[in-house]
């Protein structure tokens, strides 16, 4: 680790928390991967390796990417991946806790809504694109982006189930096809996206700061060349 990056970690509490949590998650995944290989559970091993790659990716590629993502958003995303794929699929939390799927899909709507705000804010302030967007359009874009991303994820679940005989689309009482599960996932995705979009619209319209502003502020500070 370079001295410059080390100094940044010391100054930013979110960076230190992100580093500690990432290390804990990788240690857990490494142990579980060793067990899966020992027991010849190859599909589980591949899934765990994929999860570890998704979690380690931002840390490994961070200095090589032209765009720097705030540590808060990295941490939230990595925790979501760990909770959804490792705890949910590998450790069967979806079966053990009936509310696990609902909570995670609501959280995904919130995260994707925040990402939508970040994307449209970058377009709005970019030096390369001369446009100005009103708060209601920004909120609408964030909402639609989150809902569309949720729909793409449901297509991914359907594909994995049909291709590898997985059960990412959970069969429910009276509906073994998983259609009811898919619809509830889309509904809670939409509710999460709607909540964060309304919050963002409210703060933008009244020019009041929020955690979204904080994350956007850090994004601008890390990527000053992208903004006018």
pLDDT tens figures, 19-61: 889 889 999 999 999 999 999 899 889 989 999 988 887 666 6
What per-residue confidence (pLDDT) applies to 130? 53
What per-residue confidence (pLDDT) applies to 72? 82
What per-residue confidence (pLDDT) applies to 214? 75
Which band of pLDDT confidence, cut at 50, 70 and 90, is reported for residue 79?
very high
Which one of 116-120, 131-135, 205-209 scores highest in mean pLDDT? 116-120
Q: Residue 206 corresponds to which tokens in the numbers above?
A: 């009244």
In the block, tokens 């929020």 appear at: 210
CA 52 to each of CA 17, 46, 112, 222: distance values in angstroms, whole numbers, following the listed order: 18, 10, 21, 25
Q: What share of the chain is helix, strand, coil (3-state, %, to 5)?
A: 80, 0, 20
* 90 touches 171 (CB < 8 A): no
Could you give the percent of the chain with pLDDT greater than 70? 78
Q: Could you say which DSSP state residue 224 is in?
A: G
Q: Could you say which DSSP state residue 67 is in?
A: S
Q: Residue 178 corresponds to which tokens in the numbers above?
A: 């998983």
pLDDT at 224 over 80: no
pLDDT tens figures, 150-163: 999 889 888 888 88
What per-residue confidence (pLDDT) applies to 177? 66
Task: Give dist(CA 78, CA 76) in Å, integer.
Answer: 6
Strands (DSSP E) found in the chain: none
In the block, tokens 């991967």 appear at: 33
What per-residue confidence (pLDDT) applies to 9? 45
What per-residue confidence (pLDDT) applies to 10? 46
Identify the sign of the CA torsion 196, 198, 201, 207: negative
Local structure of 168: helix, strand or coil = coil
| Burial status of residue 213 (CB atoms within 10 A of its CB: 0-12, 13-18, 19 or more) | middle
Local structure of 172: helix, strand or coil = strand
Local structure of 80: helix, strand or coil = helix
Task: Give dist(CA 189, CA 212) in Å, integer.
Answer: 19
* 68 touches 45 (CB < 8 A): no
Euclidean distance between the first and the last CA atom of the chain, given in angstroms as a whole number: 31
Q: What is the mean pLDDT of residues 207-226?
A: 71
pTM of the model: 0.76
Task: Give dist(CA 162, CA 159) in Å, integer.
Answer: 5
Which band of pLDDT confidence, cut at 50, 70 and 90, is reported for residue 83?
very high
* 189 touches 108 (CB < 8 A): yes
Which band of pLDDT confidence, cut at 50, 70 and 90, is reported for residue 119?
confident
């Amino acid at each position: 680790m370079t001295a410059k990056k080390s100094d940044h970690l010391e100054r930013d509490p979110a960076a230190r928390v992100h580093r500690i949590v990432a290390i804990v998650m990788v240690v857990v995944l490494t142990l579980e991967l060793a067990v899966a290989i020992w027991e010849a559970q190859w599909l589980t091993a591949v899934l765990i390796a994929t999860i570890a790659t998704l979690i380690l990716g931002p840390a490994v590629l961070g200095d090589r990417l032209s765009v720097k993502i705030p540590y808060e958003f990295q941490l939230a995303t990595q925790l979501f991946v760990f909770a959804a794929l490792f705890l949910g699929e590998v450790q069967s939390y979806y079966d053990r806790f009936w509310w696990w799927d609902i909570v995670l899909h609501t959280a995904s709507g919130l995260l994707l809504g925040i990402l939508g705000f970040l994307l449209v804010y970058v377009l709005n302030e970019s030096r390369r694109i001369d446009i100005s967007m009103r708060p209601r359009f920004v909120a609408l874009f964030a909402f639609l982006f989150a809902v569309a991303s949720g729909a793409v994820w449901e297509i991914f679940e359907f594909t994995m189930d049909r291709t590898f005989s997985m059960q990412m689309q959970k069969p429910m009482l009276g509906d073994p096809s998983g259609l009811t599960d898919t619809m509830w996932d889309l509904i809670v995705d939409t509710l999460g996206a709607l909540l964060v979009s309304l919050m963002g619209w409210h703060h933008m319209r009244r020019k009041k700061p929020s955690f979204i502003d904080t994350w956007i502020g850090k994004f601008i500070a890390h990527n000053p060349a992208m903004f006018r």
